Amino acid sequence: MYLERITFDPKIMGGKPCIRGMRVTVGTIVNLVASGSSFAEILHFYPYLEEEDIKEALSYAAWRSEEMELPFLVA
């Protein structure tokens, strides 16, 4: 998956996935959408965000939810 707007930096929010290097995490955006906030409301709360930031945060979350963790077997 190509991520243009999702960044990872251990110095920002402990390395959590963030929007364009800002201190707004993907989790924050996904939680706002899940709790019923509209894109317009989120953009009002965070005027420095863009609609594409929200869409990419949701795409990233959907992609991560499809990941499978397999047990590490030691022979």
pLDDT digits (tens, 9 = 90+) for 32-42: 999 999 999 99
Cβ–Cβ under 8 Å, residues 18 and 25: yes
**pLDDT number for residue 75:** 67
Model pTM above 0.75: yes
Q: How confident is the model at residue 71 (pLDDT cuts 50, 70, 90)?
A: confident
Rounded average pLDDT over 54-60: 96
Q: What token pair was written down for 40?
A: 């317009």
pLDDT at residue 56 is higher than 90:
yes
How far is CA 40 from each of CA 16, 46, 68, rounded to the nearest angstrom? 24, 10, 33
Name the more confident of 2 and 12.
12
Q: Could you confirm whether domain 6-65 is CATH 3.90.100.10? A: no
